[in-house]
Chain A
Amino acid sequence: MAGRGKLIAVIGDEDTVTGFLLGGIGELNKNRQPNFLVVEKDTTINEIEDTFRQFLNRDDIGIILINQYIAEMVRHALDAHQRSIPAVLEIPSKEHPYDAAKDSILRRARGMFTAEDLR
């Protein structure tokens, strides 16, 4: 399985996406489809959910970065994703700093150990 490169996808606000594109992760595949989505004020939740599901189904995407406030909007789609790959990472945005209580992954472990116990 090693060797075949996978991409890092981004779903975020304009600043986040711009930053990561400058970091070098952006790509258009054969069908001119991008591996990122810029979420603006008028982007509908359906659009975000559709793009997220598309990214999940593409087998050339290994990691999906998503701003936490956007993750909140499509929380149900995130929670339904049980596979280990692609990995979904929630990142903070300029206006919304990172909140560990809302993270899907950490909530799965909530039953066993709480974050405070281990700190």
Chain B
Amino acid sequence: MSGKDRIEIFPSRMAQTIMKARLKGAQTGRNLLKKKSDALTLRFRQILKKIIETKMLMGEVMREAAFSLAEAKFTAGDFSTTVIQNVNKAQVKIRAKKDNVAGVTLPVFEHYHEGTDSYELTGLARGGEQLAKLKRNYAKAVELLVELASLQTSFVTLDEAIKITNRRVNAIEHVIIPRIERTLAYIITELDEREREEFYRFVGIGS
């Protein structure tokens, strides 16, 4: 990246005013972006904490669900093949909604039920109660997992947004603003020199 360049512009009083305005604009822009980055980072940390909590909770819920599965298998026999063969339509589906944080749209999942239970008749022979408990446990696990998925997608999206915003802040701070400042300095030196030249010309003519 070139370090010594400035904007090519004819040095005049008007150019100086324009450059000053541009500098002000760049500084305001940089401050606003910095605030946005801070807000996003704050939300990011909150979400990360929530994710870790929820993941630990999920570990426990899954353990309980697996346990009830083992119980059900014990009473009802092996129903895995029947379950897998009888797949038809899903009763639990998810919708993607949009949430907004500091100008960044985050996708959020919401689960909803549709249709009837395909497995109503499974376990009619034996183990019906364990199977019902098992279904409830896994339904609970699914709800928790959908929430976790929402947190995770927000996390990933925020991560990207924060990186982009920080890149822009750095670009303004280390490239744009120095360039404008250098241009301003150049204009001021040129104007000063011109003034001195003119003065010298006047003094020269006088004598």
One of B47-55, B170-178, B184-192 at the interface:
B47-55
Contacting B48 at CB < 8 Å: which of A20, A62, A98, A118? A118
Q: How far is the CA of A115 from the CA of B51 in the complex (A)?
A: 10
A5 to B96, CA, bound (A): 8
Is the pair B97, A8 in contact by a Cβ cutoff of 8 Å?
Answer: no
Q: Residue B92 contacts which of A23, A85, A98, A100 (CB distance < 8 angstroms)?
A: A23
Minimal beta-carbon separation of B195 from chain A (angstroms): 53
B69 partner residues in chain A, CB cutoff 8 A:
15, 18-19
Which residues of chain A (44-97) have a CB below 8 Å from chain B? 62-63, 65, 82-85, 87-89, 91-94, 97
A90: nearest chain-B partner, CB-CB: B55
Closest Cβ–Cβ distance, residue B98 to chain A (whole Å): 7
- How many residues of chain A get a CB closer than 8 Å to chain B's CBs? 53
Chain A residues positioned under 8 Å from B98 (CB to CB): 1-2
Number of residues on chain B facing chain A (CB within 8 A)? 60
What does DSSP make chain B's interface, helix, strand, loop or mixed?
Answer: helix
* Distance, CA A115 to CA B52, complexed state (A): 7
Interface of A is mostly: mixed
- For window 87-119 of A, CB contacts with B under 8 Å fall at 87-89, 91-94, 97-98, 100, 103, 105-106, 108-109, 113, 115, 118-119
**Residues of chain B at the chain A interface (Cβ within 8 Å):** 45, 48-49, 51-52, 55-56, 58-59, 62-63, 65-66, 69-70, 79-80, 83-84, 87-98, 107, 109, 112-114, 117-119, 122, 131, 134-135, 137-139, 141-142, 145-146, 148-150, 152-157, 159
